[in-house]
Amino acid sequence: MKNNWHSSEKFNRQAADFDNNPRRTSIAEAVASAITKTVPLKGSTKGLEFGCGTGLVTMQVAPRLRHLTAIDTSHRMLGVLEGKLLASGIKNIETLCLDLSSAEDRRRLKAPYDFIYSSMTLHHIDSTAPFLGLLFTMLSEGGMLAIADLDLEEGLFHDDPEEKVHPGFDRKKLTGMLEQTGFEGISFTTAHTVEKKNRAGIQASYPIFLLTAQKPSAISLSTSPSPLP
C-alpha cells in the first residue's frame, strides 16, 4: 500500500484554529447525525475512527460506544482533542498518533473492531481499494464500516491546487471496490451538502455521502452457496 497523501505537517499548522471554521463544524454535525441514525450502535460496541482530527465527530459518536480508539497522523490535532476530553471528563476515548498505512503503526491497535468510521479522510488516502481491504481485515465478523466523504467533483473543492487528494468518489465505483473486498449491505445516503465558492471563484454545491457496509458474519459466511466443483 502506498503512503497516505495526508500531510501531518499541514494539519499540525491548522490544529489550533481548525474548529473555528463553521463549514467544518456543520459537516461534522451532519456526519455524526447521519452515523447515529444509520448505524445501529450499541453501548457494547468497540470502535475505531481514523483521521479523527480535533474530534468534531468523535465527541458526538463516542457516547454511543463502549470504547473508541481515535487515531490521526497529526499530533497537534490529537492534542486539541485530548484537551476536549480533559474538559469534558469523557473516559471511553483513547487517542493514538499513527498512520494506518504503516504495518508497524498498526501493531499498536487492538483489532478487530466492531465499528470503523471516518469523516472527510478517505480522499487523503492514495490507494483506495487496498485501504478498504485493510479496513475489512480490521473489522470483526458482522462489523460495520461507515465513511463520509465527497461525491466526485471537478477537482476544485480544495483551495490548495497543489494538495494531493482524490476529487471525491463515484458511488458506483466505490461500491464495486467494497463488493470486491467482501463487504455486503452497502448503501449510500447524502449526509450533507456544502455550499461554497470554489477556487475558481464559482459558487457551487458539493454533496457529502455517508456509505455504510458490513463485513459478513460467520453465519452468513457458513450459509453462502458452495462453489461448483
| Domain-wise residue ranges, the chain | 8-220
Confidence at residue 164, expressed as pLDDT on a 0 to 100 scale: 87
CATH code of 8-220, in short, is 3.40.50.150
Q: What type of residue sits at position 53?
A: G
**Dist CA 128 CA 104 (whole Å):** 20
- With b meaning 16 or more CB within 10 Å and e meaning fewer, what string describes 100-124? bbeeeebeebebebbbbbbbbbbbb
Confidence at residue 228, expressed as pLDDT on a 0 to 100 scale: 37
Mean pLDDT by 10 residues, the chain (229 residues): 57 72 95 96 92 96 96 95 95 96 95 97 95 97 97 92 90 98 98 95 96 86 42
* Angle, CA of 99, 174 and 101, to the nearest 5°: 15
DSSP 146: E
Give the number of other Cβ atoms within 10 Å of residue 54's Cβ: 27
Confidence at residue 13, expressed as pLDDT on a 0 to 100 scale: 72
35 near 210, Cβ under 8 Å?
Answer: yes
Spell out the alpha helix ranges (H) of 19-170: 22-38, 58-61, 75-88, 103-106, 128-138
pTM tops 0.85, yes or no: yes
Give the residue from 101, 97, 173, 172 showing the smallest Cα distance to 138.
Answer: 101
Provide φ and ψ at 208, rounded to 5°: -120, 120
Confidence at residue 163, expressed as pLDDT on a 0 to 100 scale: 83
**Dist CA 182 CA 185 (whole Å):** 10
